[in-house]
Amino acid sequence: MDHLPQDPAMLVSAVNMLLRDEEFDTLESLCYYFDREPAELQATLHAEGYDYNEQQRQFRPIM
């Protein structure tokens, strides 16, 4: 994958897949690889209804 998708549904899926498959061990390392700021990515996905769970290393729907 050369870049992260722009579509929010595809973005959350791609990020969770990359973290789950252990291509990246932290959200920060994933963001820096794709030249994104972790806080900006978290804010973008929070606005779409997802929060990052650091222990599970994935974005989850806000309940």
Residue 3 lies in a domain: no
Domain of residue 13 covers 8-61
Tell which wins on pLDDT, 63 or 9.
9
- Give the model's pLDDT for residue 22: 84
Residue whose C-alpha is closest to residue 6's, from 36, 29, 50, 32 = 36
Q: Which pair of structure tokens corresponds to residue 56?
A: 């599970």
Residue 2 lies in a domain: no
- Give the model's pLDDT for residue 2: 86
- Give the model's pLDDT for residue 6: 93
**Rg of the chain (C-alpha set):** 10
Residue 42 lies in a domain: yes
pLDDT digits (tens, 9 = 90+) for 3-54: 999 999 999 999 999 999 988 999 999 999 999 999 999 999 999 999 999 9
- Give the model's pLDDT for residue 11: 97
Residue 34 lies in a domain: yes
> What are the two backbone dihedrals, phi and then psi, of residue 58, each rounded to the nearest 5 degrees?
-160, 160
Residue 19 lies in a domain: yes
Q: Name the domain count of the chain.
A: 1
